[in-house]
């Protein structure tokens, strides 16, 4: 039987190195530029989803009973969906 301690040797890694690697001092801060780019991307993605929600609801509003049946909805389902706000379903800001 082979002992794992004999087969894997990391001579330059000790307990002290492990503690330093997990400390909060080793965490890198996010540069302001990266944070701003992330916020802009989040806003653009939210606007895209709002636009898609508005487009889908506009199409849904004009469907007749046969088309609603084809997609598996009733008039009550359609009315319930149309009564929801546009921003329903957007991801929360992290």
Average confidence (pLDDT) over 46-60:
90
Cβ within 8 Å of residue 49, ≥6 positions away? 89, 90
How many domains in the chain? Answer: 1
CA 59 to CA 71: how far, in whole Å? 12
Please list the alpha-helical segments (H only) found in 1-94.
4-7, 15-21, 32-61, 65-70, 75-83
CA 37 to CA 77: how far, in whole Å? 39
Predicted TM-score of the model (pTM): 0.55
* Residue 17: inside a domain: no
What percent of the chain is predicted at pLDDT more than 70? 64
What the block records as the tokens of 54 is 């508005």
Boundaries of domain holding 78: 30-88
* Residue 70: inside a domain: yes
* Residue 12: inside a domain: no
End-to-end CA distance of the chain: 49
Residue 17 pLDDT grade (very low, low, confident, very high; cuts 50, 70, 90): very low
């Amino acid at each position: 039987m082979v002992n794992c301690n004999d087969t894997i040797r990391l001579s330059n890694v000790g307990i002290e190195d492990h503690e330093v690697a997990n400390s909060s001092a080793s965490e890198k801060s996010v540069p302001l530029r990266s944070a701003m780019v992330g916020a802009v991307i989040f806003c653009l993605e939210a606007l895209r989803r709002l636009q898609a929600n508005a487009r889908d609801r506009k199409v849904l509003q004009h469907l007749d009973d046969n088309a609603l049946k084809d997609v598996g909805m009733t008039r009550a389902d359609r009315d319930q969906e149309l009564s929801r706000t546009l921003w329903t379903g957007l991801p929360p800001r992290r």
